[in-house]
Structure 1
Amino acid sequence: MDDLLTERLALHPLTVDEAERLAAGGPADAGRWAPGYPSAGDVAGARRFLDVCAGAGDPRPFGAYEIRRRQDGRAIGGVGFHDAPDEDGSVTIGYGLIESVRGQGYASEALRGLLRFARESGVARVLGDADQDNAASHRVMASAGMELYAEDERLRYYRTVWTGSA
């Protein structure tokens, strides 16, 4: 599967081998990983991807993607689907960036690219959530066009629903 491209980013679909290297936390790939990558969130995402692969097989294209800057090819975070679409055509997403590149619009750009891919792939609904105190993540999902539709004492829940979907 080819990378999903946005203006500044390449969303690279992780392979099992790449995820195993990430889950091990290194050693750093000096030519491909930006300083600070992988973060704890990237390692956790790689482990989740490997668990899905072990249980149900490789979920690509509805798996994990490494976020790489197109200008230098360096990995700066991850974005992806928690699983393949369910019977209602819904998927749940997650994302994260290394701290040194936050605040530059990369997360919103990556999420918009993933949402575009989901829509083109026939997904009816994309869901996401963030802790109540994670204002940056709330801004990312809103900037990518997701709407806040519910919240509880712990989380805010966002979604994108395309025409003709419930």
Structure 2
Amino acid sequence: MRHMGGERVTEAVASCVALLRTAVDQDWEGVKAGRLEWSCRRTAFHIAEDLIAYGGQLAGRAQDAYVPFEITLDEGTDNEGLLQVIETTGALFTATLRTTPLDVRAFHPYPFRSANREGFAAMGVAEVLLHTHDIAEGLGLTYQPPAELPEFVLTTIFPHVRPETGSETGSAVGSAHWRTLLWATGRADLPARPPVTEWRWNNNLVLPTDRLTLQGVTPAAAADLCDGGDGGFRWVEDGPFDGTREAAKWLMKGYDEGVHRPEWGLFVLVRREDGRAVGGMGFHGVPDDERRAEVGYDLAPSARGHGYATEALNALSEWALSRDDVDLLYATIEGDNSPSQGVAQRTGYLRATVEEERTAREEHDMDPALQLYVRRQRTLPDNR
């Protein structure tokens, strides 16, 4: 999957400026921007503030807080001058995105206190699109952004929002994505969906270990993996393996049904020493009513035998079992797959009881050829 963040920001800024230039002679200060309390002028300046702030976070590699700076306008700056500021800050942000390495993450508070370059790009595009919409409402203009931009935002930082194909909105797919984004941010209504009064976007979760980072897969990346792409990761020569692509299909199924939650999806295991992806690991869905979640894992053949799966599974399991909504994790493993069984056992998973396996087969359709391994909240690995 080719890095598209910089191009998307450029498209978004161009669409914003092209529309607002048709109204530079109007009074932007005395008119509110849509449903906001800000004026159209203040909102336009906010677009520029966000673009330069996001660029600053990435360029400065900020890890704990926002970089403490702000921009101001020269006295007497008119509406045309303000549009030039938006263009300039957009260009600076785009240049930063294009030169930021794949593995760089910087501070952003929602929801896991960091974002990568695609996450920052999507947040920047969202700010441009949504606030251009606000200003257009205030000035009596009609705004329809390029169709691929709302889809990029939704599949990158709104993984919890069920996408639409157009049937619900009565419009083409591109327009449906736009209407869905407006609904998801409290700016529009959709039939059969409750109004949104509070919202946050959702950057992917990343869990570090000594030698790896477990990087949450967005719907955008999962779709690319399903299509035979790399999902935006640099893989070892024989990756991704079949199980990772299959897990990406399950992620997309949950996304299409509106039940996907990013922290309970797929993670790609990225090796710290060279930035190469070596496998996939994750959950088969959110915890059930009995506070149980299923885990699965898959490594490229060349990455096996180095302890990566053990290291990653222990980290993922500890993260999950530290939460209030999980009491038990389980894995179903083929009876003749002794390496996978060894991974589970080294990370504190125990072979389930005869009764537990019988229940899993009778009530949950577990394949009789599979063995059930479980790790409970207070189970610790034997090698600690």
Bigger Cα displacement from structure 2, 146-155 vs 103-112: 146-155
Q: 2:230 and 2:371 mapped to 1: Cα distance?
A: 35
- Which structure has more relative contact order (CA 8 Å, sep 6+)? It is 1
**Structure 2 residue aligned with 1:120:** 322
Structure 2: 5+ residue stretches without partners: 1-203, 359-367, 379-384
Please point out which of 94, 101, 104 is paired with 2:303.
101
Please say if residues 264 and 286 of structure 2, whose CA atoms lie closer than 8 Å, have aligned partners that are also in contact.
Answer: yes
Q: Which residue of 2 aligns with 1:160?
A: 375
Aligned-pair CA distance for 1:39: 1.2
One-letter code of the match for 1:110? A
The equivalent of 2:217 in structure 1 is 14
Could you say which structure has the larger radius of gyration?
2
Q: 1:120/1:24 Cα in 2 relative to 1: closer, same or farther (>3 Å)? A: same
Write the letter of the residue equivalent to 2:347. A
- Paired position in structure 1 for 2:333: 130
2:262 to 60, 82, 86: 60
1:72-93, Cα deviation, whole Å (9 max, x unpaired): 1111110001011111211000
1:141 aligns with 2:344: yes
Asked if 1:92 is matched to 2:294, the reply is yes
Task: Give the conservation status (yes or no) of the 8 Å contact 2:230–2:240.
Answer: no
Contact 1:25-1:38 within 8 A present in 2 as well: no
Instruction: Return closer, same or farther for 1:93/1:53 CA change in 2, 3 Å cut-off.
Output: same
Deviation at residue 42 of structure 1 after TM alignment:
1.2
Q: Does structure 1 retain, via aligned residues, the 8 Å contact 2:236–2:276?
A: yes
Q: In 1, Cα distance between the equivalents of 2:212 and 2:375? A: 22
State the alpha-carbon separation in 2 of the partners of residues 78 and 5 from structure 1: 14
Asked if the contact 2:222–2:231 (Cα under 8 Å) also holds between the matched residues in 1, the reply is: no
TM-aligned CA deviation for residue 24 of structure 1: 1.2
- Offset of residue 56 of structure 1: 2.8
Q: Which aligned pairs between 1:1-80 and structure 2 lie closer than 5 A?
A: 1-26=204-229, 32-80=234-282
User: Structure 1 regions of 5+ residues with no counterpart?
Assistant: none
Contact 2:260–2:285 (Cα < 8 Å) also in 1: no
Quote how far apart the aligned CAs of 1:121 are: 2.0
Q: Which has more strand, going by share of residues?
A: 1
Distance 1:75 1:57 in 2: 27
Structure 1 residue 44, shift from structure 2 partner: 0.6
Aligned equivalents of 1:28, 1:160: Cα separation in 2:
30
Conservation of the 8 A alpha-carbon contact between 2:206 and 2:216 = yes
Letter in 2 for 1:161: R
Residues 5 and 11 in structure 1, CA contact (< 8 A), matched pair in contact too: yes
Give the % identical residues: 32
Query: What's the CA shift for 1:28?
Result: 8.3
**One-letter amino acid matched to 1:71:** E
Change (3 A) 1:27 1:128: closer
Look up the equivalent residue of 1:160 and give its one-letter code: R
Normalized against structure 2, the TM-score is what? 0.40
2:5 corresponding residue in structure 1: none
The C-alpha deviation readout for 1:46-103, integer Å capped at 9, x for no partner, is 1111111111343111111011111111111100010111112110000010000101
Hey, which of these two has a bigger chunk of helix by percent?
2
